[in-house]
Amino acid sequence: MATEMDVKDLHYRDLNRLLRAKIEEGERDFILKNVNGQRYIAAGVSEKIRLEIYGTPGLDLGAFMRGPEIIVHGNTQDGAGNTMDEGKIVVHGMAGDVVGYAMRGGKIHVYSDVGYRVGIHMKAYMDKVPVIVIGGKAGDFLGEYMAGGIIILLGMFSRYPERPIAGIYLGTGMHGGTIYVRGKVSESQLGLGLKPHEITDEDEALLRKHLSEYCEDFNLDLEEIMKEPFIKIEPYTHRPYGKLYAY
Where do contacts with other proteins occur on this chain (CB under 8 A)?
A: 12, 36-37, 39, 55-56, 58-60, 75, 77-79, 94, 96-98, 101, 113, 115-116, 139-141, 159-160, 162-163, 167-168, 188
Q: What are the φ and ψ backbone dihedral angles of 101, each rounded to 5 degrees? A: -60, 125
CB of 155 to other proteins, least distance (A): 16
Name the 3-class secondary structure at 12.
helix
> Within a 13 Å sphere around the CA of 131, how many CA atoms are in the beta-carbon half?
16
CB of 179 to other proteins, least distance (A): 19
Q: Is the dihedral of CA 220, 135, 222, 122 positive or negative?
A: negative
Contacts of 39 (CB under 8 A, 6+ apart): 12, 58, 59, 60
Q: What are the φ and ψ backbone dihedral angles of 133, each rounded to 5 degrees? A: -115, 130
CB of 166 to other proteins, least distance (A): 12
- Closer to other proteins by Cβ: residue 114 or 211: 114
Q: Provide the residue type at 226 as one letter.
A: M
- Closer to other proteins by Cβ: residue 79 or 235: 79
Task: Break the chain down into helix, strand, coil percent, rounded to 5.
Answer: 15, 25, 55
CB of 187 to other proteins, least distance (A): 12
- Closer to other proteins by Cβ: residue 150 or 154: 154
CB of 214 to other proteins, least distance (A): 22
As a whole number of angstroms, the distance between CA 56 and CA 75 comes to: 5
- Closer to other proteins by Cβ: residue 59 or 179: 59
- Closer to other proteins by Cβ: residue 69 or 113: 113
- Closer to other proteins by Cβ: residue 196 or 230: 196
Angle (CA) 155 179 185, round 5°: 55
Q: Is the dihedral of CA 124, 130, 136, 140 positive or negative?
A: negative
As a whole number of angstroms, the distance between CA 214 and CA 92 comes to: 11
CB of 167 to other proteins, least distance (A): 8
CB of 48 to other proteins, least distance (A): 27
- Closer to other proteins by Cβ: residue 96 or 171: 96
